[in-house]
Amino acid sequence: MKIGILTGGGDCPGLNAVIRGVVKTAIQQYKMDVVGIIDGYYGLVNNKVMKLTLEDVSGIMPRGGTILGTTNICNPFNYFAVVNGKKVYSDVSDKVIENIKKNDIDVMIAIGGDGTLAIAHNFFKKGVPVVGIPKTIDNDLFSTDVTFGFDTAILTATEAIDKIHTTAESHHRAMIIEVMGRNAGWIALHSGIAGGAHIILIPEIPFDYDAVIKKIYERKENGKHFSIIVIAEGAKPTGGDVVVKKIVEDGTEPRRLGGIGNKVGDEIERMTGIETRVTTLGHIQRGGSPSPFDRILATRFGAEAVALIAKKEFGKMVSLRTPEIVSIPLEEAIGKQRLVPLDSGYIKAARLIGISFGDK
């Protein structure tokens, strides 16, 4: 049996650990062959395939990114191209299936977030044997306790908050750190608590500017002349909307969020006169060597995906149900976001120690 493996969507710490887990398990335990698809679904459309051996994955576990490359602007069922100067969208999924057959690939492993896995599910419905592996730093995928890449992202964000903490205290400033997460506040919530933030603004709890200012003034009255504010990129004020940085028409996620940190910073300065600085962490949250937790989880996901293939259990996604790795149908895993519940123990603990969510 020959496995084809691809990484789709945004890059993420731990992707190489998954690839390594798949290749080592497939070759050593089941005598299967493995080929890598270059640049996600784009590689399937354009027949960009490379053989993966044990030597190819030796030493790649600590490396960030993905040795296969990735893209988040290629959907074979709605493929974008420019023809005679005009944007054209077409369904090239049959061409993908032809390329899969040309390369004698028996089953595909798709590693990615909701968009990548939804495409994989569509191919499964067209008869392609598929197994999915969940991946996102945002931790917003339904039906898994956690995704690899998230732990590394919050570690990166927490380290940044620690460094900003000292300069904020020295200069008596309000310091804002904008983190990723799209419509979910997991990165902001976890890194904010770990980094000692005083205010955390997340998409699940619309905030009020007066409540944010109230918290800053409360700290000043208690002799604390600086404030650390962690903001998720998808946070929004009550009655308002998210800040959209850019629209990418051919992307799997057309709205690129970003800029809420600067908007909140401007309002704080206008309303208080307190010098406010904004740091947007951006893609450094996606980069770097994966944490031990992410390396282990990614390895477990990769190994279990191959075990599913050996049992011919296709159309499924591996999932963490702590402490076990289980499998669920792909159709149950896609189309629903895992947001921070308002009764989350993390939110309760944060409130108990005095962190404001800008709603009171």
CA angle, 117 then 122 then 125, to 5°:
125
> Concatenated DSSP letters for 222-280?
TT---EEEEEETT--BTT--PPEEEE-TTSSS-EEE--HHHHHHHHHHHHH---EEEEE
Contact of 167 with 161, CB cutoff 8 Å: no
DSSP tag of 282: G
Tell me which residue has tokens 């040309």: 102
Instruction: Compute CA 302 distance to the chain's CA centroid, rounded to the nearest angstrom.
Output: 17
Question: What span, in angstroms and rounded, lies between the C-alpha atoms of 246 and 223?
Answer: 40
Residue 288 CB burial class (10 angstroms; 0-12, 13-18, ≥19) = middle
**What residues are paired with 230 via a beta bridge?**
177, 200
User: Which residues belong to the active site?
Assistant: 138
Question: What span, in angstroms and rounded, lies between the C-alpha atoms of 333 and 112?
Answer: 12
- Using DSSP's 3-state secondary structure scheme, residue 14 falls into coil
